[in-house]
Structure 1
């Protein structure tokens, strides 16, 4: 079921939910420059009986594009809004890249909503303000299309850059509104979650792509290790977007984690 949900500031967010109404909830948050279709290939490979919610972050996909910049706190409030609009509680929240930062910040703020995390290809802090300022300036000057080759090179390993997954990622990236992309870049730029995340105590699975140049495995692991008892796995031959590039290899450890914590239908 597709539905528009209104955020606290009136921004309309495109959401999609599927699965039995009483099923355990899994919430999926996509990466910068992608949209909710990132999860299309992976969802059917997860355990049956889940209530799966995904949405397009503000500035992306079918959601509204308010004026940049955006703050991480605003993206977290958006996550709260879509979860509460669908009457979900005790969710497992899986986020990738930017979505993984939202996942961490939401868990810090709302442990009443989040019972476990899957953090994929993300970190408590990504890049530097200088890097993000330069990226925002570049896309504002010339758009996203001229940046696409460099982004795809960071996102995919050499064997996948000319394949169908990279082609899909390129189409979505270049179709993303510049204002929305710049807005979310600003949110990442201003975020450092190392201290609050180190205080989390909940089940956590961390995943990294062996060929990811945006959030390399060592960076991902540094964040995952902040939470005692967390699990960390590397998805081999995958870059920054394993649910798209290697959906079966991403879904397998996630499914195992969900079963291990008793979060299956």
Structure 2
């Protein structure tokens, strides 16, 4: 049986997840690892995953940071509001999470959709961000029509099976898929459990996002990590971000989309080298 408790800030806990209420009443699930005295590092996920996508990194990162990871609205332990979500709302979810936890500034590492959120924060809330890492992401993934088609397909499908296979094919190299690598199976289970309304809501946020010009306003030290074989957010997208954000550094790994999973050692070297 799950037990919960509430503190003075309205933050309540249940098992290993904690929850805060966003400004519109949505419940955002989060987890913290690491000692209270360390600098805070926020981790933000890919669409179609939960905060568990960072499990391989937590032991090492929590040696150096107080690691805060969370589930997007519509995914994992967070609630699933109806309708389309916006990048603005996803960014404000992070700000409100930091506010609820009394965190003034933090490093931020976002992968894929998490990288979109990181760019939004760098543009709109630079005073809350120390160093910014944007991994396997883009500033624009339009046009809208393919996303509208995906949204319709997800909402009409009987389950997540077909969508899960699409994601896995985009995320991992063929040998890992063919071998039924245990890591791939973990992500398949994660995908199959995703709420389809939540996925459709997040697809809409990506569909409507265009940060290509405004990321020139990002003033925080920024590292961009690309996957050379990424078919979702191509390496050219990362190159464009690194060329547009003043002073940004670029690291290219021989990965597909989930660089942290496919090349965990090299990924961690890049992250820790930049943050420390």
- In the superposition, the TM-score normalised over structure 2's length comes to 0.90
1:156 lines up with 2:179 in the alignment: no
Indicate the SS of the match to 1:10: coil
Q: Spell out the pairing of 1:72-151 with structure 2 (5 A cutoff).
A: 72-142=87-157, 143-151=159-167
2:56 and 2:43 map into 1 onto residues whose CA distance is 13
Q: Which residue of the partner structure matches residue 229 of structure 2?
A: 211
User: Which structure is richer in relative contact order (CA contacts within 8 A, separation 6 or more)?
Assistant: 1
Indicate the SS of the match to 1:250: helix
1:166 lines up with 2:181 in the alignment: no
1:169 and 1:205 map into 2 onto residues whose CA distance is 26
Indicate the SS of the match to 2:260: helix
1:51 lines up with 2:43 in the alignment: no
Indicate the SS of the match to 1:40: helix
Deviations 1:224-261 (A, max 9, x none): 2211211111122x2211222332221110010011xx
Q: Which residue of the partner structure matches residue 258 of structure 1?
A: 275
Q: Which residue of the partner structure matches residue 61 of structure 1?
A: 76
Q: Which residue of the partner structure matches residue 18 of structure 1?
A: 33
1:47 is displaced (CA, Å) by: 6.6
Q: Give the count of matched residue pairs.
A: 258
1:204 is displaced (CA, Å) by: 0.6
2:110 and 2:237 map into 1 onto residues whose CA distance is 16
1:159 and 1:204 map into 2 onto residues whose CA distance is 32
Structure 2: any 5+ residue segments left out of the alignment?
Answer: 1-15
CA 1:80 to 1:225, structure 2 compared with 1: closer, same or farther past 3 Å? same
Structure (1 or 2) with the larger CA radius of gyration? 2
1:57 is displaced (CA, Å) by: 0.5
- Is the Cα–Cα contact under 8 Å of residues 3 and 16 in structure 1 kept in the other structure? yes
Q: Spell out the pairing of 1:32-43 with structure 2 (5 A cutoff).
A: 32-43=47-58
1:179 lines up with 2:197 in the alignment: yes
- Is the Cα–Cα contact under 8 Å of residues 45 and 248 in structure 1 kept in the other structure? no
1:167 and 1:200 map into 2 onto residues whose CA distance is 37
1:55 and 1:23 map into 2 onto residues whose CA distance is 18
Q: Which residue of the partner structure matches residue 241 of structure 1?
A: 258
- Is the Cα–Cα contact under 8 Å of residues 35 and 62 in structure 2 kept in the other structure? no
- Is the Cα–Cα contact under 8 Å of residues 210 and 234 in structure 1 kept in the other structure? yes
1:84 and 1:103 map into 2 onto residues whose CA distance is 17
- In the superposition, the TM-score normalised over structure 1's length comes to 0.93
CA 1:77 to 1:94, structure 2 compared with 1: closer, same or farther past 3 Å? same
- Is the Cα–Cα contact under 8 Å of residues 126 and 218 in structure 2 kept in the other structure? no
1:76 is displaced (CA, Å) by: 0.8
1:172 is displaced (CA, Å) by: 0.8
- Is the Cα–Cα contact under 8 Å of residues 131 and 275 in structure 2 kept in the other structure? no
Range with greater deviation from structure 2 (39-48 or 227-236): 39-48
RMSD: 1.4
1:190 lines up with 2:215 in the alignment: no
